[in-house]
Structure 1
Amino acid sequence: MATIEQRVQQLEDREEIRELIAKYCHGVDGRDEDLFMSIWSEDAKYLIGAQFGDHIGIDAIREILHGLWGAFTEMHHWATNVVIELDGDTAKARVNADVTGTDTKGRALMFAATYTDELRRIDGRWKFTVRDIDLHYMTPVLEPWSNDNESRFAEV
């Protein structure tokens, strides 16, 4: 049986990892480079797959971040169904994500993905060492997309 201190530490670790997952979303969506880059280990692997490629190391991750921002004028990530497995100073997480975005052509897109994460406590803080994204689909939502709510909902 774990001690109360061990149980509290596990709760704190889980909460910090959940916050790290949220920082990923806020960083990429809010175009906050400092926040987004703060969540990765120096040797992290950001594996986005065939659509956007695999990026290893902090410099490559920063480069693809700018590539994503160049491809999408806006993105909105919602992470859910977070499952975390702790093992001392390492952890694994599985996260489902619904993402909406608008590309540079003005098309609204909807994505569904699963993130398989590996994390490590570095200097007392949890960081992603691997984020492996399984993109289930990426599909247009409405053509043409408009932020003008009055005209967009007039046909509904």
Structure 2
Amino acid sequence: MTSDREAIGDLIADYALALDTDDIEGCVGLFTEDSEYLVFGKTLVGPERVRKMFTRAPRGMHLTGVSRVRIDGDSATATTQVLFVDAASHSMRPALYDDDLVKVDGRWRFRRRRCQFLTPDGLSDSPQDQQ
């Protein structure tokens, strides 16, 4: 039997691997119906908006690092390091994911995901702030 902590680790890994293998539907399926995704200074609400963003996003690899997970019953929070490597330019974008997670029908899902990019001035909602 998988522990909640292991299942959350799998959720975070499944997200990165789905995006990196162009499995947009698999990735969207990791979010709740009322999910929010905060990235690039925008808040995307619901699976359809998230799907559109993933479809238009540059292709690359999401290298996830350490995660700090806090579980409280059927809800949890996670903060995860990620390094995105763009497939075309090989440029790198270091970032942090801050997640609010919920267990729905026995499976962990993203309720809210915020991506903040590491820039010379600290964390930012936009990678364009990188110098």
Normalised by the length of structure 2, the TM-score is 0.85
SS of the equivalent of 1:108 reads coil
Residue 48 of structure 1 is matched in structure 2 by 39
Residue 148 of structure 1 is matched in structure 2 by none
SS of the equivalent of 1:14 reads helix
Q: Percent identity?
A: 27
- CA shift, 1:49, in A, is 2.8
| 1:118-146 C-alpha deviation (Å, 9 max, x unpaired) | 0000111000001111111459xxxxxxx
Q: Which has the higher contact order (CA 8 A, sep 6+)?
A: 2
- CA shift, 1:80, in A, is 1.1
> Which of the two has greater helix per residue?
1
In structure 2, list runs of 5 or more residues that go unmatched: 120-126
60, 65, 73: which one pairs with 2:49? 60
Residue 20 of structure 1 is matched in structure 2 by 11
In structure 1, list runs of 5 or more residues that go unmatched: 1-7, 140-156
SS of the equivalent of 1:63 reads helix
Superposed counterparts of 1:1-156, under 5 Å: 12-50=3-41, 53-68=42-57, 72=58, 74-102=59-87, 106-137=88-119, 138=127
Structure 1 runs, 4 residues or longer, greater than 4 Å off: none
> Which of the two has greater strand per residue?
2
Tell me the C-alpha RMSD between the 2 structures: 1.7
